[in-house]
């Protein structure tokens, strides 16, 4: 197989999926937060400020949802254009999750988004809140089906290899209850909720610093930092911890790459920082916590953890990319707990709104959950290499045989141009909504109703 063609196809897929994944986390996160605002509307004596906030965020949600759809459709087309051999081999299994995501979750989300945006004056407040709940459930269901595909690629279940050389589905239930799926879905979903909470907190901080829409900002700041702290803690434990246990159980070579562990060790240390050197087979200038990797992996300080050298070198994932992306994700995740924890502490002492320095921190922190999400998916996908489906099908065998590397690069340049325009348009539209503020959402909602 032409290694240049394989590399070109991998770069093409990575570029498109990394750009697309800028949008789903905010969709999922805002879905949960809008439900919380609707609950506030129904339960508070004066619920109108909460209703106003939900209307504003629904407009941001709609813009983000639209951009996610526009960038998500090419992702699925790529399976047929660039990865035809992989699609032929595995389509009978992974196609189920992709089909259900589009057929059920996407249409459910679209329907209830329409009801939420345009039906507030046409249905009762409880029915409108129900539409927000269904919107939230639909976005989470969409994520569940997509992550079920990734879980199958990490740990294949519910299939048989037919005489025709392709995979056949034997149990959809097994695929949708894959033991690799549960904690991965919760971990990813909570990371998305954290993203939504930090975006909400950042916008509230901006409005408070500017002295605009103060009541709106106070509601969003309280909700954002409280939900953000809860999500940040749950991302690390138990979901991150349990997801790590699944990696130990089903793909231990990925664990070794994530930690830069070259030699098997009893009482393996957890690397906080360090630089993996493949030639020397060690971490350079490491800062490590003794025995902690053994304990986190097996619940035993003296457990033996297999290093990269215990496996054939041709089964190693890209060490540097896997290691650094994991440590970026882990480091930022730890930082989020500190940022949101201190924000909640200031909130409890009624000093958050008046501490301008911390409002600046909250406002400027909003890009970092996006970076953490991207790093997390990079870790998941690169750590699986050289496999597309671990133990069954290698990445080098999955590309379309009749698509040259030149054609892939040409289309990638085209996508760069289109996505640049789409990204600029999306930012301009979001900034326009932020500039108009929640009052414009009120007037637009009244016109629509």
Domain spans of the chain, in order of start? 3-264+306-448
pLDDT score of 443 more than 60: no
Rounded CA gap, 197 and 200, in Å? 5
Rounded CA gap, 274 and 282, in Å? 9
DSSP 119-181: -TTTS-HHHHHHHHHHHHHHHHHHHHHHHHHHHHHHS--SEEE-TTSSEEES-HHHHHT-TTH
Tokens of 230: 């809860």
**pLDDT digits over 387-399, tens only?**
999 999 999 999 9
Q: Quickly state the pLDDT bin for 102 (edges 50, 70, 90).
A: confident
**pLDDT digits over 11-60, tens only?**
999 999 999 999 999 999 999 999 999 999 999 999 999 999 999 999 99
pLDDT at 444: 52
**pLDDT digits over 171-206, tens only?**
999 999 999 999 999 999 999 999 999 999 999 999
Q: Are 384 and 318 in contact (CB under 8 A)?
A: no
User: Based on the number of CB atoms within 10 Å of its own CB, is 9 exposed (0-12), middle (13-18) or buried (19 or more)?
Assistant: buried
Residue 161's alpha-carbon distances to 158, 172, 207, in angstroms, are 11, 15, 58
Rounded CA gap, 205 and 433, in Å? 16
Question: What rounded mean pLDDT belongs to the chain?
Answer: 94
Of 196, 201, 213, the closest CA to residue 49 belongs to 213
């Amino acid at each position: 197989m032409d290694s240049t063609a394989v590399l070109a196809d991998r770069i093409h897929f990575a570029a498109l999926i990394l750009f697309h994944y800028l949008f789903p986390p905010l969709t999922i996160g805002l879905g949960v937060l809008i439900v919380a605002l609707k609950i506030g509307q129904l339960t508070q004596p004066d619920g109108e400020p909460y209703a106003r906030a939900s209307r504003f965020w629904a407009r941001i949600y709609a813009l983000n949802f639209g951009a996610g759809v526009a960038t998500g459709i090419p992702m699925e087309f790529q399976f047929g254009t660039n990865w035809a051999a992989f699609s032929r081999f595995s389509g009978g299994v992974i196609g189920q999750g992709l089909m259900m995501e589009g057929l059920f979750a996407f249409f459910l989300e679209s329907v209830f988004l329409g009801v939420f945006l345009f039906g507030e004056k046409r249905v009762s407040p409880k029915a409108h809140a129900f539409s927000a709940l269904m919107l939230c459930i639909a976005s989470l269901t969409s994520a569940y089906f997509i992550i079920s595909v990734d879980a199958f690629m990490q740990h294949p279940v519910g299939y048989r290899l037919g005489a025709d050389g392709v995979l056949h589905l034997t149990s959809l239930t097994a695929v949708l209850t894959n033991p690799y799926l549960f904690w991965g879905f919760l971990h990813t979903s909570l990371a998305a909720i954290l993203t939504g909470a930090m975006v909400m907190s950042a916008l509230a901080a901006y409005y408070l610093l500017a002295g605009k829409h103060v009541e709106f900002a106070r509601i969003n700041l309280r909700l954002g930092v409280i939900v953000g702290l809860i999500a940040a803690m749950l991302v690390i434990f138990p979901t991150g911890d349990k997801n790590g246990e699944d990696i130990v159980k089903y793909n231990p070579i990925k664990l070794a790459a994530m930690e830069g562990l070259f030699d098997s060790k009893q009482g393996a240390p957890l690397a906080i920082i360090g630089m993996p050197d493949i030639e020397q087979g060690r971490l350079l200038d490491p800062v490590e916590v003794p025995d902690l990797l053994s304990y986190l992996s097996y619940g035993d300080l003296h457990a033996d953890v297999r290093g990269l050298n215990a496996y054939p070198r041709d089964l190693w994932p890209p060490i540097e990319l896997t290691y650094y992306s994991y440590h970026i994700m882990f480091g930022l995740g730890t930082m989020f707990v500190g940022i949101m924890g201190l924000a909640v502490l200031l909130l409890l002492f009624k000093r958050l709104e008046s501490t301008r320095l911390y409002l600046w921190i909250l406002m400027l922190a909003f890009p970092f959950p996006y970076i953490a999400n991207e790093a997390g998916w990079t870790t998941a996908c690169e750590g699986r290499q050289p496999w597309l489906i671990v133990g069954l099908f290698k990445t080098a065998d999955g590309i379309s045989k009749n698509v040259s590397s030149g054609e892939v690069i040409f289309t990638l340049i085209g996508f760069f141009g289109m996505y640049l325009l789409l990204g600029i348009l999306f930012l301009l539209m979001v900034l326009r909504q932020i500039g108009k503020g929640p009052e414009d959402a009120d007037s637009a909602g009244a016109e629509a109703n």
